[in-house]
Structure 1
């Protein structure tokens, strides 16, 4: 047997016992490799090394077509499908194809309607745990990802990466119908509907249609009463995430609004506006 070392949980075989030991951490959730910067833990040392590039900004893998840089070689290979048009993952229900396997898995939930991952704060459900983890950051006011060029901070690393593209000036995705160009293919695709006139996203309540799903989702909130959110500090019930976030600052002491003249911080924007009149 070329793979004599068998996993006792899933029976997967490995050529070396050291590889089996690394694999076993998937089942035990053992993560012995910890980032000394942010505290995130990993089950493999190579995963920690890749993660640290987020903090150092090192992106050694470069696309030969658009010069976009990546932290991992695997991310570069996935990115190359944008240029090649390769979509190897196909839905067996509707035959829609995807460039990434994770996108196919998420798509499958549109057929089943299952959203197994729920936010304990606002009750919103998601079809992927990664989407839930991203959403949870919207309830926090921490912005740990800082731009090394201008100092602007972001809640999500993906937002920082998008922002960094504004500094390098690269816009490799060009519209063939007008002279506009974009730094991301998704932005180009969203732009194309302006030329086609297609408004494929319709409101189920009033029938109004939109070019983009994001605009539809924003519109839908005008029809739906905000869900109640309970403050974890004082148990007060707030309606709507924005009201909850403003109220939460009373307990955390977070003051995001800074006076440009004297640097005095304020919890709410209208408090800052009132203060500015004193200058």
Structure 2
């Protein structure tokens, strides 16, 4: 063994390894070989670490607890990411517009928006969206589902943001009138 020297390399992706066995396990990933199986229900994984993470989740081992809200996690890095959210730390910055995000996957979704990638398509009208949550809100427009109700006048809305704008009416932030008759900003 060559102490720390990466002298074996993947022909597919170019990633280098110090040991031939590690390269062989890596090549299983490229080949789609899932030879690490969950004993509880048979789900297979290409990497030992992925199986371990899955097993921790399956067995309910969440021994990393948030001091702020009590939520617990299977891995310390997951807790750290969660704590960054509480602290408002945004380590993932868009190279195009400079917008920063707490979570790496949120940056990826944002980058999809810049690239025009819209993987979430409405089965009713065909309109496509970058984010699944935006598609869900859109579908409420078709179904008429109004889950967001005003505590003041009882008017319901399909979107939380529309309710918030409506609440501004009652708070006197916009000039308009609510249907219950009181002069309030819209």
Taking structure 1 as the reference length, what is the TM-score of the superposition? 0.42
What is the aligned-residue RMSD (CA, Å)?
3.6
Q: In the aligned structure 1, how far is the partner of 2:54 from the partner of 2:78? A: 13
The residue that corresponds to 2:77 in the other structure is 74
> How do residues 36-47 of structure 1 correspond to structure 2 at under 5 angstroms?
36-47=39-50
Q: Per the alignment, do residues 215 and 100 of structure 1 end up closer, same or farther by CA in structure 2, a change over 3 Å counting?
A: closer
Partners of 1:101 and 1:219 lie apart in 2 by 23
Larger RCO: 1 or 2 (CA < 8 Å, sep 6+) = 2
- 1:19 corresponds in structure 2 to 22
Shift of 1:13: 0.9
Distance of aligned partners of 1:223 and 1:44 in 2 relative to their CA distance in 1, 3 Å threshold: closer
How many Å apart are 1:106 and its aligned residue?
Answer: 0.9
User: Contact between 2:34 and 2:46, CA under 8 Å: does it hold in 1?
Assistant: yes
- For the residue of structure 2 that corresponds to 1:46, the secondary structure is helix
Which residues of structure 1 form unaligned runs of 5+? 129-213, 226-279
Number of aligned residue pairs:
140
The Cα of 1:110 is off from its aligned counterpart by 1.6
Q: Mean alpha-carbon deviation: is it higher for 50-59 or for 18-27?
A: 18-27
Among residues 90, 98, 102, which one is paired with 1:99 in the alignment?
102
**Paired residues for 1:1-279 under 5 Å:** 2-116=5-119, 127=130, 220-221=138-139, 224=142
Between 214-223 and 75-84, the greater mean CA deviation after superposition: 214-223
Q: CA deviation at 1:124?
A: 8.0
Consecutive unaligned residues of structure 2, counting only runs of 5 or more, are 144-186
Work out the CA distance in 1 between the residues paired with 2:126 and 2:91: 34
In terms of Rg, which structure is larger?
A: 2
Cα deviation, residue 87, structure 1: 1.1
Aligned residue number for residue 165 of structure 1: none
TM (normalized to structure 2)? Answer: 0.60
Structure 1 runs of 4+ off > 3 angstroms?
A: 64-67, 116-120, 122-128, 214-225
